[in-house]
Structure 1
Amino acid sequence: MASERTNRHSSQRLAARILVVDDEPRLASTLATLLRSCGYDATEAHGGRRACELIDTQRFDLALLDLRMPEVDGFAVMTHLENQQPACGTIVISGESSFTTVSRALRRGALDYIRKPFDPEDLVATVKGVADKQSLLKAHENIQGRLEKSEALHRYIVNSSPDIVFMLDADGRFCFINSKIESMLGYKPVELCGQHFRHILDDRDVARGIYALNAPDISADNPRTLEIRLKTRGSRRATRHFEVTAFPIDPQTWMHNGNTQGGGSGQNACYYGTARDVTERKEAEAFINFQAYHDLLTRLPNRALFKDRLELAITHAGRGSQKLAVMFLDLDRFKIINDTLGHAMGDRLLQAVTQRLESCLRKGDTLSRFGGDEFTLLLPSIHGHEDASQIARKLIKALKAPFLLGEHEVFVGVSIGIAIYPEAGSSMDQLIQNADIAMYHVKAKGKDSYRFFSESMSIDSTNRLNLERDLRLALKRNELRVFYQPQVCASTNRIMGLEALVRWQHPERGLLYPRDFLGLAEETQLISQLSEQVLDQACRDVGKWIRSGHRDLRLAVNLSPVEVEHPKFVETLMKRVKANRFPPGNLEIEITENVLMNDLDQISQKLRELADMDVRIAIDDFGTGYSSLNYLHRLPIHTLKVDQSFVKAIHSGVDDACIVNAIVAMAHGLKLEIVAEGVETESQLQYLRTLGCHQVQGFIYGPAQPATDISKLLAHTTVRTALSG
């Protein structure tokens, strides 16, 4: 008999009539064909209007609906179906995937939601599950009719129910409870009978439960349904959520059946109820809500939640005449690490950064991930700038120590912009925008620090945006120019090398110098593209002069710290050199002492690799940074460039030139070449010659010049001869 019932149920499922609705005929036909191949009776409807016509004339067990259709959309079809055939189930198949659309469809009665494009196997499995469920629902309705005639069958269904079924006496004590309570919560039915229902309720829900049962309008036609938390056996706090439905009954109508498998007889029952476990649904709802307002990688509030909290904090601060601070944090060097080690390591780094930042916060502060490597921080109820400064210093200090990612030890810093309410803005958008502006000013001044927003920054920000737009266009339009400043032998006046210096021929502002745009290029990640164009042009120009007879001519190029710190710096540089067929032995790269000291071990390795390929290394602006004899001895350095500020100190007195004397003497002792920058007068030149300075460069030989002028200089024996000519 069991086999016969199974076969009959299977044939009913296979014979289920299904309406397939889509405004794309080919897709509707494909769906219908797929369902027919599985034994279903499928009917196609091309569009919502045709679907409504079929619903009026034919009966269906299940409808597969698209939502977005012209004239009559899927929601309208669902309404029509509910009015005409309420027993027909609905599955939505749509490309719409927003939470609002999915939620609306499910609220309107959809039994499931399949997103386009779909997997045929998944779709068939979903249809099977829903069709089976519909079949079970219909079977349940039949059983309900039979229950009215058979109390014994009623008892059987109660004890086989997937829900907890219970009865309470007038005082709220259990007088019957089915065996489902044991598998769900661990109680034996017999041990609960005679206990008040509060025994299994979470303490926070007891009052709500008592109030619901004592409501004056509760009846069998108007039952009470509420979500409450029930405790598992032996626990103090509830761990599972249940949807409880209860209503009063007449004790005289309940007749005891001795075959019940639950606890208690049900005598003296005044309330009948069921409890359905909805824990998984509640957890799913909580997760969906968490997703909507949190960043899943760091578990921090996202942009939407941060703005909600900021709006609320502004309202409170306005009422109480208080101050608050908004911080905009941007990680330094994160992009380099992410590009080099991969996104997985980048994600791990963001999680580690989050933990350190959270350790610096006060109770009530809100740290959010705003996007990428950007964070925002809300500091409510501060007394003034010093409170914000203290937090900012803690955040910077927290990120100073290296991060260990697998076998890699990496360093990141943070640039922080701060906007104080109300002086830096009275609205949410103003405070966030102004904190962002202040952060960019930190980036421009060297990173790894903090600054407060001031009104003057707004003007600078507007100019910066315009200049950034123009710089992007300049790179596309080849507006960058390479000028060259000769490095001249102090004793023979021969040109030994050329330092490549970038200029920007702006279409409206004329010729711009590096100080006007290089900082912006670094901030906006355009520095690599800019340097690539400059290096290519310089290699082509100087390479041509080398091949024309100036075999020993050296090309000196300044490199940005951003480029040197990149793990693929050596590979990228040599790729450009080879692409332009430039001899590596004629190339000299100039870096500052500060770049070396940022990460001495990593930079040392890169410089050794370059030196092994005959590239020369020069320390630019020597004397203005760390000036450590230790690194001069350890690294493959060929040249020291004396900063022009020391050269300018050379006048008639020897005391003013003591630093130059010391640098030149040290270079001689270490067998390094010396290039003095910023030489402008004959007296400076003569003094440097007497010291034994090898090479000089500066305005005494004229400003940096374009390639056409340099070609003329190189045609003469010495630069002095060319200038006098």
Structure 2
Amino acid sequence: MYTSSYHVPISSLIARPLLTCTPDTSVREAVRRLLAEGCSSIVVMEGASAVGIWTEQDALSAGEDANTPDLPIGAVMSAPLLTLDADTPLGEAAVRFKQSGIRHFGVVKDGACIGVITQTDVIVNQGAEFFLRLKSLESIQLRAPVVVPEQYPLHDAIATMRRNKLDAVVVAYADGEHGILTERDVVRLIANETLAGVVSDHASRPLRALAATQSLYAAQRFMLQQHIRHLGVRDPKGRLTAVLSFADIMQNIEEEYLSELQSALVERDEALERARFSLRMADLVFDSALEGIMVTDRHGKIERVNQAFTRLTGYSDEEVFGRSPSLLNSGHQDASFYKNMWHSLVTNGHWQGEIWNRRKSGELYLEYLTITSIHDTEGNISHYAGIFSDITQRRQNEERLRYLATHDVLTGLPNRALFEERLERAIIHASHSKRQVAVMYLDLDRFKLVNDTLGHHAGDEVLKTVASRLAAGVRDSDTVARLGGDEFAFVLEEFNDVRDVGRIAKSLLNSVGQAIDLNGHDIFTTPSIGISIYPDDGTEAEQLMMLADQAMYGAKNQGCNAFQFFESKMTSSAIAQLDMVGELHRALEQNEYCLFYQPQYDLSSGRVVGVEALLRWRHPHRGLLLPDKFISIVEQSALIVPLGRWVLQEACRQARNWLDAGLEFGRIAVNLSARQCHTDSFLTDLTRILSETALPPERLQLELLESTTMNTREEIGVLLRELETRNVSIAIDDFGTGYSSLAYLKDLPVDTLKIDRSFLSGCDAHSADRAIIRAIVAMGRALDLDVVMEGVETPEQLAFLQDAGCHQGQGFLLARPAPAERVNELLSWQRNAFPMPPGQHHASKTALAGM
């Protein structure tokens, strides 16, 4: 490649006589002449003046409109003809092509048009091979190909090309092969008057293609050798991802290259042409690149480096000239790594990847390196060019994100996901080495008092101090994690005696129990610890975690600030619970769960205003089981998340069915567990379910226990406010149980209170519970909240609630939970006979009450 190509006048590139026609020549005749001469354009002359041009691209309009071939070419030509002077240097012409975006210029001399120069002429003669070698096809931006099926009408294909300004469309054949239909094909079809049929009858097949890893130079050479103007690009899996044209090559010759090339020519003239163009180009690349560039000879000795190389490595060009790139070697890659690198260079002509190197200062850095082999005119490797960038900061950011995904933000300890992964790994290792593993659960006693009295900020400080003490109290080989709230867990490995685990537990009790200085105040908090041992107590991670959790509650029952090992006699149902976990998982897989639905009534009108979805288990041997037989075990295991997702999906699907049937039910209410709330995928799952079922979000109400909203008030508040923006209703279930402060209601976007049934059952008309119900109803009305009373079972209770002004009721007196088809009957009856006479509530529900 020599700089002389830049100053070549474009007149020297005109290889054929000018093809012309008059304005009254028909388009059909012009097309035939184009085809006969093998040209891509024809100049329209009026006398001695060139008044326009008609190109293969214009043929698309003629191919789309059947009347166009009979029109005079003067009516459809592109005018005026854009021209360049015959003495215009080739480099300047390349700039004009890139700036204008057109593919043909007329060449004029002394005011007369003497020929036409095309983009192809510029690409073939530009001499930018060095730049093209450094660029792979995958490194440039190419538009995805427009693909049409083989039976696509030819007329529609031509219209697609014209409408999208395409010079070609790809044709997909049923056998997986591709072909291509180009503007030149359209010209041929117009000339032959064969514009009918489908696109596969006229496309060129197969479409020639190269791998995306090939260089732009290789693509250019291949297109010239095969006499084609379009080339497919395939990804590593062999899929067609783009079509490359000469116009794309033009767009990827850097404008900086074109302008700075001219400066290099002036410098060469002043130096009496003593430097080769390739060296000048290397200077230009080096001066402008932000990436470090290093060029070696074929033996791997450094010949040139750029300023970015010096900035990134600390070595100047004088310090590295003639030396091997191994001076940057960090020692982090072994000999096989470099052997594979050189093998790829020799066989494939390039290598790309990440590599750790060392700066002159001794500092390690991670770089992304691309090495390309450069060949001489005889095809032999003469040089290697390496381009690299420092990606250390990017890697650090990625590692930070990975860290945040596996660690607790507040304490820096591993989170539940990482804890479970390490426990699984410890079990595998212990099974091979025939050793034991201890799992410890630690919970802080009465930690809620710290949050309630001193605030959550103080609670966070206590948790960070406790976490620091726990981490210091175990060995580096052990794992301590924060599972959430004030719960911590440990994996202890490689101990010789279980008594060693006991000693560690006792040490942790003493350490955590020490006073914590918080702004001058001594805060004391004690832990309770439960311990399970692999393989004595269990062999599965989930089993060991559950048993350690049970043992921890046993320690709390001793009076707190204690530790306890799991014992089989700790609870008579422990083994049964473990077996139940397996059954519960299988039940979900075998589709044994189902939903019953219990209506909620407006107590003033008798109309159904809501339906609560209630989970049931159709056990293959024990029959229909209510949630109190299994839900507590579900909530202690990871099954609560997929099962909760299934309940939400099924309830929304049924609600959509009622809407489609024209049945009015108000809102479908679904219970939401605390663990579901805190999963990262909850909002994504909710969005997907509402989208798949097409249920309007305002038709959905999510019920959360009062304890859930209080214990994680700050965390749950973010979720509830997000649900509010999505128009999903929120209800507080079992309201009034165990909490005296109601201030949180004004901070959370709640619209419904469900009073716990315990306030209504078994109490007479003068009990304090009745007074609490009246107070909650009055408070609900004052806060503009709906109030629902659960557990309405007698006419006397109903009369009391109506007298107290309670909005809504739910219970066996009004309707028992029932399958969807029975609720359909009720809703259909309501649609046809509403309003129900006030005295008929109980009698009309006889069939449902039997459920």
How high is the TM-score relative to the length of structure 2? 0.39
How high is the TM-score relative to the length of structure 1? 0.46
